[in-house]
């Protein structure tokens, strides 16, 4: 595992091309799943531009993010005036019900008290009925994964709770796609489990063509529903590595006594079975459709195993995504020779090595490298060292793919060089099957290409030797 600066004060881990994005990226993305919510970044204009660009090219949707536009003057004397003015303009232009104020490196470095600024705004504008939520999300504080959960935790903490028991299940997800969010909503409904999703990006980041165009997204989970999470009977948090200080479920347990379970993302057989078992215990009912999908997936595993067994995969991305994909790999005989994540987690390496030991017939620990705080320069070297033949993650590895001639399966944020990032599926049996098919086909294509290439090379070598040509 690569050494992080926090683990050794004498060493500095230099990231050349980080395998991550910043906390504000995750916070803004999470707030996109709140109904009638607009986000303003308290920092320089470049932060908002960077995030808008990443989200717009991945989701293929227009993305509006406001900025307090801090300059040198604001950096020295404070950005209170900019933020107050920005909030006023934002309300006049968009008329949102919720505003998320996300900090950036600049605001956090100068020690801006965003909570005090928000109080001052309410005092100056007593008639406003907009709920303003502050999110501490300095870019240096973590990755987009930490930013995502910081945004969700801030919403749960700052909403006015409705503690009336309602019998619902809270569903809290990491940074999954809109298509995967839609599938989860349908699956819970088919199981007969009444739930509230935090967040719900299924429509706001994968919308329909509208005339006239609405500046403010109309999908997402309303604050009124989020308030009822305090009266739920259970929370399900699809994250195995979120720390207690950043976890919405931990907060709901501590403040309102709502019990919770942590589940892995439902990718592959065991994770799906774990989800179904939890829902059954919560009163859900298994459907015939689920039984057929499970059987179809098992059949596909048999069909593709001889191809998947050829794969030596490099899996990279956020911890929960990487762990979910590694589980699927191990269930199907795909050897994950490199597992790379940008987040730093004490539990990650131990959990992933345990996973590979449990599922693989032989002990491949010496062939498996788990690295955190990763960058793509390091990942490229590991691809060569481990003789990898498959990449699974975001499009940020496309240059490695082109340089080393290794196929890349794009199934995580961000996907910039292909369309359809918002429709990428990995959850459920259909999503798992999609990933399995793409892996098997990549191995088939690679075999065909290498086989023909070696034949051509041998032919031209023999021909040259026959004619005495060097």
Superfamily of domain 288-440: Nitrogenase molybdenum iron protein domain (3.40.50.1980)
194's tokens: 């009444």
CATH 3.40.50.1980 location in the chain = 16-158, 169-281, 288-440
In tens, the pLDDT along 235-248 reads 999 999 998 999 99
Confidence of residue 176 (pLDDT cuts 50, 70, 90): very high
252-257: average pLDDT: 98
Sorting pLDDT into bands at 50, 70 and 90, what band is 284?
Answer: very high
> What whole-number distance in Å separates Cα of residue 68 and Cα of residue 41?
6
Q: How is 257-271 classified by DSSP, letter by letter?
A: ---EEE---S-SHHH
How far is the CA of 313 from the CAs of 372, 385, 440, in angstroms? 17, 13, 12
More confident residue, 346 or 395: 395
CB contact at 8 A, 200 and 184: no
**pLDDT at site 54:** 93
For residues 260-287, give the mean pLDDT: 96
Distance (Å, rounded) from C-alpha 260 to C-alpha 265?
15
CATH architecture of 169-281: 3-Layer(aba) Sandwich (3.40)
Confidence class for position 4, pLDDT limits 50, 70, 90: very low
In this predicted structure, the answer to whether residue 79 has a pLDDT above a threshold of 90 is no
Strand pairing report for 131-135 and 390-393: unpaired
Least confident of 11-20, 302-311, 344-353, 375-384: 11-20
Distance in angstroms (rounded) separating the CA atoms of residues 242 and 240: 6
* 6, pLDDT greater than 50: no
How would CATH label the architecture of 16-158?
A: 3-Layer(aba) Sandwich (3.40)
The tokens 């604001």 sit on which residue?
74
Buried b (16+ CB within 10 A) or exposed e, 53-76: ebbebbbbbebebbbbbbeeebbe
Give the integer Cα–Cα distance in Å for 435 and 315: 12
pLDDT above 90 for 8: no
Lowest mean pLDDT across 111-120, 161-170, 439-448: 439-448
């Amino acid at each position: 595992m690569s050494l992080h600066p926090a683990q050794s004060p004498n060493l500095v881990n230099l990231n050349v091309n980080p395998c991550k994005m910043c906390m504000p990226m995750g916070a803004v993305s999470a707030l996109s799943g709140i109904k009638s919510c607009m986000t303003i970044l308290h920092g320089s204009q470049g932060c908002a531009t960077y995030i808008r660009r990443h989200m717009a090219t991945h989701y293929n949707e227009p993305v509006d993010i406001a900025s307090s536009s801090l300059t040198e003057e604001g950096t020295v004397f404070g950005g209170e005036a900019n933020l107050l003015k920005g909030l006023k303009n934002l309300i006049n232009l968009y008329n949102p019900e919720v505003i998320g104020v996300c900090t950036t490196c600049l605001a956090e470095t100068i020690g801006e008290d965003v909570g005090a600024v928000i109080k001052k705004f309410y005092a100056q504008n007593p008639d406003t009925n907009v709920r303003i939520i502050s999110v501490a999300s300095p870019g240096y504080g973590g990755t987009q994964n930490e930013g995502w959960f910081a945004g969700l935790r801030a919403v749960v903490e700052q909403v006015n709770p409705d503690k009336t028991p309602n019998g619902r299940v809270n569903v809290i997800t990491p940074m999954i796609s809109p298509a995967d969010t839609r599938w989860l909503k349908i699956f819970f409904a088919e199981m007969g489990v009444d739930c509230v999703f935090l967040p719900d990006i299924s429509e706001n980041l994968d919308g329909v063509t509208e005339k006239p165009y609405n500046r403010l997204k109309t999908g997402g989970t309303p604050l009124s529903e989020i308030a009822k999470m305090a009266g739920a009977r259970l929370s399900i948090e699809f994250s195995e590595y979120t720390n207690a200080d950043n976890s919405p479920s931990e907060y709901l347990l501590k403040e309102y006594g709502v019990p919770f379970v942590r589940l892995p993302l439902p990718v592959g057989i065991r994770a799906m079975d774990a989800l179904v078992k939890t829902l059954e215990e919560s009163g859900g009912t298994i459907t015939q459709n689920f039984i057929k999908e499970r059987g179809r997936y098992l059949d596909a595993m048999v069909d593709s195993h001889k191809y998947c067994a050829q794969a030596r995969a490099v899996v990279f991305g956020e911890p929960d995504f990487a762990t979910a994909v590694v589980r699927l790999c191990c269930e199907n005989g795909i050897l994950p020779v490199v597992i790379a994540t940008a987040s730093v987690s004490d539990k990650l390496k131990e959990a992933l090595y345990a996973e590979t030991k449990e599922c693989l017939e032989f002990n491949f620990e010496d062939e498996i490298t788990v690295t955190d705080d990763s960058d793509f320069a390091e990942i490229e070297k590991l691809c060569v060292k481990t003789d990898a033949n498959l990449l699974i993650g975001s499009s940020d590895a496309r240059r490695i793919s082109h340089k080393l001639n290794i196929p890349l399966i794009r199934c995580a944020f961000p996907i910039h060089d292909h369309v359809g990032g918002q429709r990428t599926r990995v959850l459920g049996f259909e999503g798992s099957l999609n990933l399995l098919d793409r892996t098997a086909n990549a191995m088939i294509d690679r075999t065909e290409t290498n086989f023909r290439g070696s034949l051509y090379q041998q032919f031209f070598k023999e021909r040259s030797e026959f004619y005495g040509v060097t």
